[in-house]
Amino acid sequence: MSAILLNHIDEVKSDIKQWKNDNLKIGLVPTMGALHSGHASLIKKAKSMCDRVVVSVFVNPVQFGPNEDYDKYPRTIEKDKHLCDELGADIVFAPSAKEMYGENVKLSNTDLTFVCPPYNYIDCMCGKSRPGHFDGVATVVTKLFNIVQPDFAFFGQKDAQQLFIIKKMVKDLNMNLEIIPCPIVRETDGLALSSRNSYLSLDERKSALSISKALFEIEKLYKNGVTDTSILFDSAIAHLDKKIELEYLEFRNFDTFQKVDEISKNTLTAIAVKIGKTRLIDNIILR
Ligand code: PAF
C-alpha cells in the first residue's frame, strides 16, 4: 500500500484523530528528507512497534544558522515518498515552512514561541558552533509531537546530542510518548550515512572515511583496556586525514552529558569535522 502524502497540518490531525479513536499505536519518524538507509532503519523499527507510521519530511528553517546549508539541503520528496511506500509508512507529512510557521513570521524567537533546551546541554559540541540550532530542533520536534501525538518517536543515534536533548525535553516537559533511539547505519567501508554525504567529492569522501577509522581506533584501544581519554584523543587524531578540520572530539557520559576524563560505562565519543565546506558528525558509544 502507498503512503498518503499530506502537506497540511489539519489533514494529518484528522487522520490521527481517527487512529486514536481506533486505539492504534502511532509511530513518528521525524526527518528532513533526502532519505537513506539510516532513515529506512528508523521506519522499519517504527513499523515493527506501531500500528501506524508517520514519516515527516521537513527541512526546518529555524534550526539552520544564517550561513548554513538551508537552501542547499537536498530536497528529494518523490524519492522519499517512494521509499516510504516501499517500507509501508502510512503518512508522509511534508509541510511547507509557511504551513509550519505561518505567513509573516520572521522565524526568530522574537516572533515565535520557541522551546529552548537548557544551556548546559546546548553550549557544547554541535550547539557551540551552531547557536540556536537545538532551539530550532526542539521547537519543530515539539510541534511535530503535538500534530502527530505519537506513542513512539524514532531518532538516529548519529545525532547523539540531539537525541539526548530530545529525551530530556520529553522527560522534563512530561510529554506523553517514548523516544526510541536507533543505531547508526554505516556504509560497508564505515562511513556513517548522512544526507550531507551527497555534498562530498570523491576525494573528500576518501578523507571522510578517516572519521569512523578514528572512532574505531578509540573503540579498539578501549577494548584493550585504555580508558584515559587524553590517550584515546591523541590516537584518534593521528588517524584523521590531513584535509580534515576538527571541530571537536569529546568524551561524555551519555546518561548525564558530563565530560569524562576516564571512560566508564555508556560513554559517548563524538566527533564533528569539516571537510571542505561540508560539516559531518559521527560517534560511538563505549559500553
Ligand atoms: O535529525 C533531523 O533530521 C532533524 O534535526 C529533525 C529531528 C528531523 C528535526 O528537524
207 Cα to the center of ligand 1, angstroms: 25
Kindly tell me if the per-residue pLDDT of 108 is higher than 80: no
Please check whether residue 149 lies inside any domain of the structure: yes
Annotated catalytic residue, options 8, 36, 39, 239:
39
Kindly tell me if the per-residue pLDDT of 274 is higher than 80: yes
pTM over the 0.95 mark? yes
Give pLDDT tens digits for 161-220.
999 999 999 999 999 999 999 999 999 999 999 999 999 999 999 999 999 999 999 999
Please check whether residue 239 lies inside any domain of the structure: yes
Kindly tell me if the per-residue pLDDT of 285 is higher than 90: yes
Please check whether residue 169 lies inside any domain of the structure: yes
Give 70's contacts (C-beta < 8 A, 6+ positions apart): 59, 61, 64
Confidence of residue 22 (pLDDT cuts 50, 70, 90): very high
Between CA 155 and CA 184 the distance in angstroms is 10
Pocket (CB within 6 angstroms of ligand 1) = 30-32, 60, 63, 137, 140-141, 159, 162
What is the atom index within ligand 1 of the atom nearest the CA of 31? 8
Closest protein CA for atom 2 of ligand 1: 31
pLDDT (0 to 100) of residue 109: 60
Structural domain span for residue 227: 195-279
How many Cα neighbours within 13 Å face the side chain of 215? 27
Q: Which residue has the cell 542547499?
A: 72
Give the Cα-Cα-Cα angle 22, 23, 28 (nearest 5 degrees).
105
Burial of 208 (0-12, 13-18, 19+ CB in 10 A): buried
Domain count, the chain: 2
For helices 9-21 and 133-148, what crossing angle results, to 10°?
A: 50
Between CA 187 and CA 209 the distance in angstroms is 10
Please check whether residue 285 lies inside any domain of the structure: no
pLDDT (0 to 100) of residue 211: 98
Burial of 264 (0-12, 13-18, 19+ CB in 10 A): exposed
pLDDT (0 to 100) of residue 1: 77
Q: 273 with 176, same domain?
A: no
Kindly tell me if the per-residue pLDDT of 58 is higher than 90: yes
What is the atom index within ligand 1 of the atom nearest the CA of 144? 9
Q: 81 with 105, same domain?
A: yes
* Interval 36-49 mean pLDDT: 98
216 Cα to the center of ligand 1, angstroms: 26
Q: 114 with 255, same domain?
A: no
Residue 101 parent element (H or E): helix 97-101
Please check whether residue 110 lies inside any domain of the structure: yes
Instruction: Please indicate whether residue 39 is annotated as part of the active site.
Output: yes
How many Cα neighbours within 13 Å face the side chain of 141? 29
Between CA 101 and CA 115 the distance in angstroms is 14
Please check whether residue 128 lies inside any domain of the structure: yes
